[in-house]
Amino acid sequence: MTAAESASADTGIAPTPNVPSQARTDAERLLERYLDVQGGERNLSAYTLRNYATDLRHFFDFLGERELRDVGKLDVRAYMSSLVEDGLASASVARKVSTLRTFYRYLRDEDLLDSDPMLGVRGPRRERRLPNFLTQEQIETLIASADAETPQGLRNRAILELLYAAGLRVSEVVGVDVAGVDLDDRTVIVFGKGAKERLVMIGEPAVRAIRRYLVDGRPQLLRGPRPPEGEDLALFLNRDGGRLSTRAVQLIVRKCAVAAGIGRDVHPHLLRHTFATHLLEGGAEIRVVQTLLGHADVNTTQIYTHVTDSAKRKAIEESLDGIARMEEERRKSRG
């Protein structure tokens, strides 16, 4: 099965049927080649390939019977305008433009097209939304909410400790194997975006939680029905002894947050935000945080500095307000 077929199968949506238009047939053929390269050479996930296929087919629909080689900058700008008129959020428009840019760059690099209509075309400016994060007290309450007396509870506590201790993505957590954990060196091997391997450090609380889970929790879960071959190598197991899914981890985090009484939507990525924010608040260098998070570009990490700056500004403003109130009360008492 090709990457293009896989992208269609994973969504449950049938691939675009053959149509009389030769232009569409040619576009679909180029799309299939592009997805195969992205899935093979760049090792992108099925989810990412699905998004690429959806975005590009939407553009093909806009073009109708026009050939890709005949598309110019005005056509691209007309497409962007149509997206805005349809009420699409600026972030979604920017993503589609980015997909088009990489697609046309591929066609140009492979000498499949002579011109690139995306050169000089800018997408809409993305709105920078500051990530939320938990306080230190909330993190401690969240982790303590996991039941430490059952195999599942020991597993859940180890998951929460690892999410916060290393700022991992949920996909990285479920992908950890027992062989990749070295508790003596306090290191864990994880595989990030594009299956890039990196070594992360963890603190003593996470070491203790994982060690106890390995001794008292995981062996109990391993006694379930025999999982598919290789899944029993996973660090975090489900009740059947197989690798825990990302959806299961999301539910575990949400359940623990409810038990902890944290009145907000808590998800695994929120712990990643919290990890980065707390590091920067503690004085860590931005480049160090970038490496720990596995960001390819420091600009991605830069958003967390705005969070800490905002928190500092709020603290200063609250202090100044307090001083102003004290001065006002002092003047009243003198009067």
Q: Are residues 72 and 145 in the same domain?
A: no
Specify whether the CB–CB gap between 59 and 16 falls below 8 A. Answer: no
Count of Cβ atoms closer than 10 Å to residue 96 Cβ: 20
Q: Are residues 75 and 188 in the same domain?
A: no
pLDDT exceeds cutoff 80 at 5? no
Strand partners, 190: 198
Compute CA 228 distance to the chain's CA centroid, rounded to the nearest angstrom. 27
Whether residue 242 is contained in a domain is answered as yes
> For 17-39, what is the mean pLDDT?
79
Q: Are residues 153 and 252 in the same domain?
A: yes
Q: Are residues 40 and 144 in the same domain?
A: no
Q: Are residues 173 and 242 in the same domain?
A: yes
Query: What digits encode the pLDDT tens for the residues 142-151?
Result: 999 998 789 9
Q: Are residues 249 and 149 in the same domain?
A: yes
Which comes out higher in pLDDT, residue 319 or 329? 329
> For 125-144, what is the mean pLDDT?
76
The number of C-alpha atoms within 13 Å of 132 and in the hemisphere containing its C-beta is 9
Structure tokens at 34: 């592009």
Average pLDDT value for the chain: 79
Which comes out higher in pLDDT, residue 113 or 320? 113
Structure tokens at 157: 């506590």
Residue 32: domain span: 3-109
> For 195-199, what is the mean pLDDT?
82
Which comes out higher in pLDDT, residue 27 or 237? 237
Q: Helix H segments across the chain?
A: 3-11, 22-40, 46-63, 73-85, 90-109, 136-144, 151-166, 170-174, 204-212, 218-221, 246-260, 268-281, 286-293, 298-334
- What CA–CA distance (Å, rounded) separates 253 from 246? 11
Q: Are residues 150 and 99 in the same domain?
A: no
pLDDT exceeds cutoff 50 at 312? no
pLDDT exceeds cutoff 90 at 154? yes
Q: Are residues 256 and 152 in the same domain?
A: yes
Residue that finishes a domain, picked among 52, 87, 109: 109
Which comes out higher in pLDDT, residue 253 or 335? 253
The amino acid sitting at 234 is A
Whether residue 59 is contained in a domain is answered as yes
Query: What digits encode the pLDDT tens for the residues 239-293?
Result: 888 899 999 999 999 999 998 898 668 888 888 888 888 777 777 776 766 666 7
pLDDT exceeds cutoff 70 at 18? no
Structural domains counted in the chain: 2
Residue 173, pLDDT score: 92
Whether residue 51 is contained in a domain is answered as yes
Residues carrying an active site annotation: 169, 193, 269, 272, 295, 304
Residue 191, φ and ψ in degrees, nearest 5:
-120, 115
Nearest C-alpha neighbor of 203 from the set 256, 158, 240, 142: 158
Residue 243, φ and ψ in degrees, nearest 5:
-65, 135
Q: Are residues 89 and 143 in the same domain?
A: no
Whether residue 236 is contained in a domain is answered as yes
Most distant pair of Cα atoms in the chain: their distance: 90
Q: Are residues 76 and 159 in the same domain?
A: no
CATH number of the domain encompassing residue 44: 1.10.150
Q: What is the DSSP string of 115-139?
A: --TTTT--PPPPP-PPPP---HHHH
Q: Flag the least confident range among 13-17, 199-203, 305-309, 323-327.
A: 13-17
Q: Are residues 52 and 163 in the same domain?
A: no
Whether residue 57 is contained in a domain is answered as yes
Which comes out higher in pLDDT, residue 87 or 211? 211
Residue 91, pLDDT score: 80
Residue 178, pLDDT score: 94
Nearest C-alpha neighbor of 202 from the set 149, 141, 158, 138: 158
CATH number of the domain encompassing residue 152: 1.10.443.10
* DSSP, res 187: E
Q: What is the DSSP string of 188-226?
A: EEEE-GGG-EEEEE--HHHHHHHHHIIIIIHHHHTTSSP
Which comes out higher in pLDDT, residue 300 or 168? 168
Q: Are residues 100 and 151 in the same domain?
A: no
Whether residue 284 is contained in a domain is answered as no
Query: What digits encode the pLDDT tens for the residues 173-193?
Result: 999 999 999 999 999 998 877
pLDDT exceeds cutoff 70 at 215? yes
